[in-house]
Amino acid sequence: MNGKSPRVNGERQWSRLMAMAKIGATAQGGCNRQALTDADWEGRALLASWAHAASCTVRIDPVGNLFVRRPGREDTLPVVMTGSHLDTQPTGGKFDGVYGVIAGLEVIDSLNDLKVTTRHPIEVAVWCNEEGCRFPQPMMGSAVWSGRTPLQSAYALTDSAGKSVRQELDRLGVSTGTPVSRQPVKAALEIHIEQGPVLERCRKTIGIVTGVQHMSRHEVIVEGQEAHAGPTPMDMRRDPIRVLAELLPAFYTAAQRRAPDARLTVSIIETSPGSPNTVPGRLRVIVDLRHPVVAHYRALREEIDRLVAESLRRQGLKGSIRCVWEAPGVEFDAECIAVVRQAAAALQLNAMEIVSGAGHDSVNVAAVVPTAMIFVPCAGGLSHNEAESALPSDLEAGANVLLHAMMSLSGAGA
């Protein structure tokens, strides 16, 4: 390496991103490459052609996850993994997921260019059906790989036309039916566009992702009694809005006590019958809760539950609160985070620690392997949008961080 700090080839990476974006390209400049479609498979074929040109092997597991492998000097050691997904939303962008795959391949090509062998083998994963739009389970492939979702329940998912994941995998030539065996992995990194506005606003090039928020949604129901808004004295009403009047300030206080990391959103408030001169007989409220630290997240949930129960008791009204959706978050591995931090520092890049607001395959991977993520800015924080955009220079800087971190984890040149 002549003592020179290694770098990726940013132009090669950009041209590959643009070549991949042509597959399933939409008129508005985005991509429609939904999971297990012909376009998804065309994208994978393009990736495989680059992988073979880089002297790598390519294999697909029984749930459709694809792995590009570059051998290590001690090839039986656990792999150092990176990757993301190639599938998109119906009106998706050019970078969500795709960048993490192309950057992983760029690391491999750069190691080839630099004639660097690593002690551990390196694998680039393409997780199947991350988006969960055609088949309704986001992060499906990584969930099966990590053992969080049984293979058969992934196979049974169907799209709106009634086609199952299993049928589509069979149609595309994947050998299904055998169990998914997870290869030993030393550590895993995923690089992704932020999909939010924080890095851009803080003028940072690199986000050192320390975790993904825990998130859940809760439905509050309060039963009252419909009554005429004129003749019924205030103290003779059973008005569910009295509970709402107590809950709103109490909810915001609970979130404020855990600032700045807690997120509490009262996203839906419904009264019925919803008539201007009737005391509502029923109130329905949806509250969305998020926090990156599991202990604080649980404490916030418990406090919200308690506030509802106390207010119902005080007001003498019947009601309930129940969790209607939950997505577990994760705190990433301290050593993997440190490796990313060191790589950004060695490259003298502007970096900050950040928590992901969106779910990623790395949440599943982190359940079984030491894992961390790297973010780069995207224009206006826009994602899941055909106008999704990122600067070539930021994407190059991110891939350089990934290269340095992967070299460190895989024992390059040691």
Token pair of 225, please? 């009694």
Compute the distance between CA of residue 86 and CA of residue 67 in angstroms, rounded to an integer: 12
Alpha-carbon distance values, 349 to 194, 325, 398 (Å) = 16, 38, 9
In 255-397, beta strands by DSSP E? 263-272, 278-279, 282-291, 318-327, 330-331, 351-356, 371-376
Give, in degrees to the nearest 5, the angle at Cα 212 between 207 and 213. Answer: 125
CB of 384 to Zn ion, least distance (A): 9
Phi and psi at residue 243, to the nearest 5°: -70, -45
CB of 372 to Zn ion, least distance (A): 16
Footprint (CB under 5 A) of Zn ion, residues 88-127 = 96-97
Of 106 and 239, which has the nearer Cβ to Zn ion? 106
Whether 58 and 48 have beta carbons less than 8 Å apart is answered as yes
CB of 357 to Zn ion, least distance (A): 12
CB of 276 to Zn ion, least distance (A): 45
CB of 376 to Zn ion, least distance (A): 13
Of 73 and 384, which has the nearer Cβ to Zn ion? 384
Nearest partner of 181 among 62, 56, 79, judged by Cα: 62
CB of 85 to Zn ion, least distance (A): 6
CB of 383 to Zn ion, least distance (A): 8
Of 97 and 370, which has the nearer Cβ to Zn ion? 97
Mask 173-202, x = binds Zn ion (CB under 5 A)? ------------------------------
CB of 57 to Zn ion, least distance (A): 25
Whether 175 and 320 have beta carbons less than 8 Å apart is answered as no
Does position 87 interact with Zn ion (CB under 5 A)? The reply is: no
Of 118 and 129, which has the nearer Cβ to Zn ion? 129
Alpha-carbon distance values, 97 to 125, 211, 294 (Å) = 11, 17, 26
Of 193 and 369, which has the nearer Cβ to Zn ion? 193
Of 296 and 384, which has the nearer Cβ to Zn ion? 384
Residue type, 215: M
Residue nearest to Zn ion (CB): 97
Sole residue written with tokens 């290869």: 183
Alpha-carbon torsion angle 44, 93, 215, 149, nearest 10:
-20
CB of 95 to Zn ion, least distance (A): 9
CB of 97 to Zn ion, least distance (A): 4
Sole residue written with tokens 């009694």: 225
Of 170 and 200, which has the nearer Cβ to Zn ion? 200
Mask 266-295, x = binds Zn ion (CB under 5 A)? ------------------------------
Of 315 and 383, which has the nearer Cβ to Zn ion? 383
Of 14 and 127, which has the nearer Cβ to Zn ion? 127
Alpha-carbon distance values, 254 to 154, 249, 301, 304, 408 (Å) = 38, 9, 10, 8, 42
Whether the bond between 377 and the residue before it is cis, its omega within 30 degrees of 0, is no
Sole residue written with tokens 């992995």: 185
Binding-residue total with Zn ion (CB under 5 A): 2
CB of 138 to Zn ion, least distance (A): 9
DSSP string, 308-330: HHHHHHHHT-EEEEEEEEEE--E
Whether 201 and 192 have beta carbons less than 8 Å apart is answered as no
Nearest partner of 158 among 134, 140, 138, judged by Cα: 134
Of 62 and 138, which has the nearer Cβ to Zn ion? 138
Footprint (CB under 5 A) of Zn ion, residues 337-376 = none
Compute the distance between CA of residue 174 and CA of residue 41 in angstroms, rounded to an integer: 11
Compute the distance between CA of residue 170 and CA of residue 379 in angstroms, rounded to an integer: 39
Compute the distance between CA of residue 202 and CA of residue 205 in angstroms, rounded to an integer: 9
Of 61 and 96, which has the nearer Cβ to Zn ion? 96
Site residues for Zn ion per CB under 5 A: 96-97
